[in-house]
Amino acid sequence: MIYLDNAATTMRKPQEVIDAITAAMCSMGNAGRGVNEASLGAARTVYDTREKLAGFFGAEDARQIVFTMNSTESLNIAIKGILNPGDHVISTVLEHNSVLRPLYEMEKKGVEVTFLGCDEKGTLDYADFEKAIKENTKAIVCTHGSNLTGNKVDVERIGEIAQKHGLLFVVDASQTAGVFPIDVQKMHIDILCFTGHKGLLGPQGTGGMYVRKGVHVRPLLSGGTGVQTYSKTQPEEMPTALEAGTLNGHGIAGLDAAIGYLEETGIDTIRAKEQALMKRFYEGVKEIPGVKIYGDFSSMDRCAVVSLNIRDYDSGEVSDALLTDYGISTRSGGHCAPRMHEALGTVEQGAVRFSFSHYNTEEEVDTAIRAICELAEEE
């Protein structure tokens, strides 16, 4: 199988990640729940990973890094933990359901939500953010990169707007963490939400969030923490405040190794390879009669994603043909980005998404180009 669905999850992981998980499965106890070597070893792994993530994202303190199971959990904690009835929040049509659905829930509880639109290429107008600010605006929540078009959002520019107006800034880095440099201080990010199983090359079931010092987030969960056992309330100190229950220690061990791999290989090297593959594919299919590509390709400094359709051919049928006839795995349908599809006019048809990893090859890309050419001719 030629795997070109890396925006959903990176299937191929570094061998270091696999080895770390295997070792942890054979030796790891429960971090913070004992003084035996198995428990202490787990605690050391968790702490080391916090330190690496803090450095990776430019956090001021490792204690501001919280572990979750994925971006969805992180975004739920953030959105439900900072907004109150009467607040106003600004978001965009680019968002994944991990942002949209928590916002809809908060809207039912009295939070006012404004979704900013985009142009025909899925590009935001940054002037719209300031225009949308009201007296009761509490936060801006937006993605760093669209999982449908691959367009990268200038979060530093939005962060400056948020800081200027005293707003909280929450960023969904699901498609960018591990591929693009992220500095939460420079970008004025108050809460960064990320997953471990995509660009970070870690295992599924891992993720986390950075919370700036001084930003209070209500816990989504409460329960065992290993500390303050006799308190009736969740501890307020970070990161314990937002980490109830046993952590995914085995997964965190894999994430720890993944970050080590990224640091050694270099995210600039990884990004250059992925973008080169994306460009090769884009250049190979953009002139094929009947093929429509979505997104802004005026700059190749974007997520390694190309979404397209062939005339009015159902995207699911195209994806099935790619897998059945060519052994190419892609993603079709709505991509959990309903507002983006509404903006692009592809609600009924969906789109076929090709997303690339640095593990992919030029030969695989050329096979995908040939497949699209032949399918377009057949149709």
Whether 373 is catalytic is no
Buried-state track 179-199, b at ≥16 Cβ within 10 A, e below 16: bbebebeebbbbbbbbbbbbb
Q: Kindly state the tokens that stand for 343.
A: 């903006």
Residue pair 189/210 in contact by the 8 Å Cβ criterion: yes
The span from the CA of 83 to the CA of 167, in Å, is: 12
Q: Kindly state the tokens that stand for 169.
A: 């800034």
Phi, psi of 116 (to 5 degrees): -80, 140
The span from the CA of 94 to the CA of 241, in Å, is: 30
The span from the CA of 92 to the CA of 64, in Å, is: 26
Buried-state track 111-139, b at ≥16 Cβ within 10 A, e below 16: bbbbbbebeeebbbeeeebeebbeeebbb
The span from the CA of 292 to the CA of 287, in Å, is: 9
Phi, psi of 189 (to 5 degrees): -90, 125
The rounded Cα 202 to chain-centroid distance in angstroms is: 13
The strand pair at 305-310 and 352-355 is best described as antiparallel
The span from the CA of 282 to the CA of 368, in Å, is: 11
Starting at the earlier edge strand, list the strands of the sheet with 65-68: 65-68, 207-211, 191-195, 168-172, 137-143, 88-92, 112-116
The rounded Cα 12 to chain-centroid distance in angstroms is: 17
- Does the CA dihedral 72-45-9-91 come out positive or negative? positive
Helix ranges (H only) for 58-149 are 71-82, 97-108, 127-132
Quote the DSSP letter at residue 151.
P
Catalytic residue among 118, 142, 303, 336: 336
Active-site positions read 336
